Amino acid sequence: MRRPIIAGNWKMNKLPSEARGFAREMVKLLSDIQERDILLCPPYVSLPCVVNACRGSNIKVGAQNIYFEKEGAFTGEVSADMLKEIGVEYVIIGHSERREYFKEDDEMVNKKLKRAISVGLIPIFCIGEKEEEREKGMKKDVVYQQLVKGLSGIELENMVIAYEPVWAIGTGKTATPEDAEEMHLFIRETLGKIYNEELAEFVRIQYGGSVRSDNIDSLMAQLDIDGTLVGGASLNIDSFVRIVRFVYSRNIGLRKNM
Ligand code: 13P
């Protein structure tokens, strides 16, 4: 069984003082949760206080980016080692907003994944097609390319993949659970080809894109959806708590397309 992983990507939201209070509240409200990984990914400046607030709890902390070089004259960048030292355990890499606004390509994403793994940070490797690519019937080609290029020369162990169709991010347009499952299964099959099927069965694949408290249960009911990467709805205490407390209704062992 793959352990579910629910992550809140706060993007560029919440001041450090707000972040601390929010994290403390999460620790209180979610202390009984077992067998699920819970992750908060605040902006860099809030990482130390969120790490402190979550210390000793069942909530882990992730960053939203790293630079791919180890250290040096890279003004404004933050290294993987720095994050590791302050107690960060995960890092989101290749988010579509970074690909779009900061021109990150597959090659850079690949270097960042390698850097993260080299220091023992667990990467959340984001992939997903844009609306026009989906309309042209290219969704699988795009995701396939992102996987092959992004993972070039990388061991898969201890990595989370996040499938985030770009057209679903922040738009309120969620992929239907069946639509998402089709892509998750395709991703798992592709990982099976790149690596091997046994390994691919262990990899956790999150869905991201307008996940909310009212669609989480049906998404998590899908066999290859192992968690979610949540943007907007992770900023609100009630909705994030409900998302983490999703209700399982899986038909274990029944894979629809088989
Ligand atoms: P929303 O949940 O706001 O659509 O954002 C998804 C996302 O980009 C998470 O990384």
Look up the pTM and report it: 0.96
Better-predicted residue by pLDDT, 254 or 102: 102
Asked whether the CA dihedral 25, 87, 38, 124 is positive or negative, the reply is positive
139-150 and 106-119 helices cross at what angle (nearest 10)? 50
d(CA 52, CA 73): 29
Q: Is the CB of 208 under 6 A from ligand 1?
A: yes
Catalytic residue among 95, 97, 129, 184: 95
251 band by pLDDT with thresholds 50, 70 and 90: low
Atom of ligand 1 nearest to the CA of 209: 4
Backbone phi, psi, residue 227, to 5°? 165, -175
d(CA 235, CA 18): 10
Which domains, ranges and CATH numbers included, belong to the chain?
5-257 (3.20.20.70)
For 17-21, 60-64, 203-207, 250-254, which range has the lowest pLDDT when averaged over its residues? 250-254
Atom of ligand 1 nearest to the CA of 95: 10
In this predicted model, what pLDDT tens digit does every residue of 13-41 receive, in sequence order?
999 999 999 999 999 999 999 999 999 99
Q: Is the CB of 175 under 6 A from ligand 1?
A: no
Atom of ligand 1 nearest to the CA of 168: 4
257 band by pLDDT with thresholds 50, 70 and 90: very low
d(CA 199, CA 185): 14
Atom of ligand 1 nearest to the CA of 229: 9
| Atom 7 of ligand 1, residue of closest alpha carbon | 231
Catalytic residue among 97, 129, 133, 164: 164
d(CA 9, CA 22): 13
Residue 150 has pLDDT above 50, yes or no: yes
Q: Is the CB of 243 under 6 A from ligand 1?
A: no
d(CA 103, CA 105): 6
164 classed as catalytic: yes
In this predicted model, what pLDDT tens digit does every residue of 70-82 receive, in sequence order?
999 999 999 999 9
For 26-30, 150-154, 155-159, which range has the lowest pLDDT when averaged over its residues? 155-159
Residue type, 35: E
d(CA 111, CA 136): 29
Q: Is the CB of 231 under 6 A from ligand 1?
A: yes
Q: Is the CB of 62 under 6 A from ligand 1?
A: no
| Atom 2 of ligand 1, residue of closest alpha carbon | 231
